[in-house]
Amino acid sequence: MSLIQEIKRRRTFAIISHPDAGKTTLTEKLLLFGGAIQVAGAVKSNKITKTATSDWMEIERQRGISVATSVMGFEYKDLKINILDTPGHQDFAEDTFRTLTAVDSVIVVIDVAKGVEPQTEKLVKVCRMRKTPIIVFINKLDRPGKDGFELLDEIEQKLDLRVTPLSWPINMGPKFKGVYNIFEQSLYLFEANKQRVEKGVSFDDINNPFLVQYIGDDAATLREEISLIKGVYPEFEVEEYLKGEVCPVFFGSALNNFGVKELLDCFIHIAPTPVGRDSEERHVDPEEEAFTGFVFKIHANMDPNHRDRIAFVRVVSGKFERNKPYHHMRLNRKIKFSNPTAFMAQKKSIVDEMFPGDIVGLYDAGNFKIGDTLTEGELLRYKGIPSFSPELFRYVENADPMKSKQLAKGLDQLTDEGVAQLFTGKATGRKIIGTVGALQFEVIQHRLLHEYAASCRFEHITLYKTAWITSNNKVMLEDFKARKSSYIALDKEGRDVFLADSPYSLQTAMEKYPDIRFHFTSEF
């Protein structure tokens, strides 16, 4: 198969949702359709459960699961579908943001009763910034929930998305009868707990009197609602969806396998094939012959006897080949990979070649950082994996003087993996860890001990936010750094960072030093 044919048959996407909306259930049903798994319940959730927030063993266990479910590839109707898993827990939101840089589209799952929840808002915001095409799946129609039109309004307002329904529910909860598929113009009748989905009944004309035979008195309401939809919402245009301007909406029940096949069939029809990426130097198209890719996720090995990690690389262009030397841009040297790994549902296997849209797992003994670029020799760096200004901070102190080297190495590697960010106070030399969630502090302490035999202690620091600072006005920048010397730190790359201890000090610094730019993401 040619490179172009390989690219055309790939779809790489993520399912995102607020925890409990049904992301895991939907993933599982999609894998069932793809024949990648045989029984329901085979995919374990990659979420740190709410009840286990301070249970280290639970975190470890779940971390193991999340390696297995990081990428779930499967074949469906001659297509290669790659689902990238994202952690549901909000403390790991940054992992999810990074995963979103490696996909070409997303499916957002919304619980019909809860509507748009905070985590959905945050994640969709990132997708909107990146103009990632979005399909919305409203789940749990077998339960009572919000009215369909109300939900569409809520999505438009809270998520700032233009929507157009491609299916429409006929009642919900105990009276749920099914959906009318506007995309296919056919009726699908609901039966709870059905393992197999019947073919829909074609209804090109919703006014066809036979509709009553299927859904009784609800036919009149359905006709009214469909005509209202046609009047209010724009007709679906694939081009608009691909530009991230309009989101098609489906209704169903993942648990009951209802509406999932239609979602998948529409998805493979409209979802984008692998798209190129911007590097700092130029735009790279997937069809280019030379391989390029970037690391968006690093996962530590579960086995403490093997310190190696898996770096997940999104293939952007060309063909990745086993044992071929590739140029590691940041280290400026060639590296060969003898065991590149592909992930098919829960199985891992060594592969000889990978194509754009694929995710290849590379065993790594410490060469990779999040955001690293691999090429065949061309000098280019992919951008778009920023670190965000952390929200929680602690001083980290060595608790075992005999193990200071281990601690330094552990902190270095864990922060390369993107678990947290590390800053060093310029005046004091003290190390500061910044995270987006409280759970990371426990993860760090636990992993330092188990993987690096180092122990650390966290100490309180009063810090509101960090901002990277740059300026063309060298004098002003130096003046600021001298005056605020105890509030200046360096990040791992040696860039200056202002440690603001309160919103007020940040505000006044910004006002008093107008030529200094304060950046809240690491890409500027």
Q: Which residues bind ligand G4P (CB under 6 A)?
A: 17, 19-25, 45, 47, 88, 139-140, 142-143, 253-256
Let me know: does 48 contact 89? Beta carbons within 8 Å. Answer: yes
Q: Two tokens at 12?
A: 């790489």
Nearer to ligand G4P, 21 or 219 (CB): 21
Nearer to ligand G4P, 86 or 522 (CB): 86
Nearer to ligand G4P, 188 or 326 (CB): 188
The residue behind tokens 């985590």 is: 119
Nearer to ligand G4P, 85 or 416 (CB): 85
Distance of CA 253 to the CA centre of its chain: 22
Q: How far is the CB of 268 from ligand G4P (least distance, A)?
A: 21
Cβ neighbours of 292 (radius 10 Å): 28
Let me know: does 357 contact 7? Beta carbons within 8 Å. Answer: yes
Selection from 362, 361, 462 nearest residue 73 by Cα = 361
Q: How far is the CB of 112 from ligand G4P (least distance, A)?
A: 9
Q: How far is the CB of 191 from ligand G4P (least distance, A)?
A: 13
Nearer to ligand G4P, 2 or 38 (CB): 38
- In degrees, to the nearest 5, what angle opens at C-alpha 507 toward C-alphas 501 and 512? 115
Helices (DSSP H) in 131-259: which residue ranges? 148-158, 211-215, 218-232, 238-242
Nearer to ligand G4P, 233 or 251 (CB): 251
Q: How far is the CB of 222 from ligand G4P (least distance, A)?
A: 21
Let me know: does 484 contact 498? Beta carbons within 8 Å. Answer: yes
Beta strands across the sheet bearing 392-398:
456-460, 392-398, 431-435, 421-425, 488-490, 496-500, 465-471, 516-519
Nearer to ligand G4P, 174 or 377 (CB): 174
Nearer to ligand G4P, 174 or 209 (CB): 174
Q: How far is the CB of 143 from ligand G4P (least distance, A)?
A: 5
Nearer to ligand G4P, 49 or 485 (CB): 49
Let me know: does 23 contact 109? Beta carbons within 8 Å. Answer: yes
Let me know: does 188 contact 202? Beta carbons within 8 Å. Answer: no
Give the pairing of strands 167-170 and 178-181.
Answer: antiparallel
Q: Phi and psi for 294 in degrees, rounded to 5?
A: -140, 155
**From CA 86, how far away is CA 449, in angstroms rounded?**
26
Q: Is the dihedral of CA 462, 95, 69, 40 positive or negative?
A: positive
The C-alpha R_g of the chain, in whole angstroms, comes to: 25
Q: How far is the CB of 201 from ligand G4P (least distance, A)?
A: 22
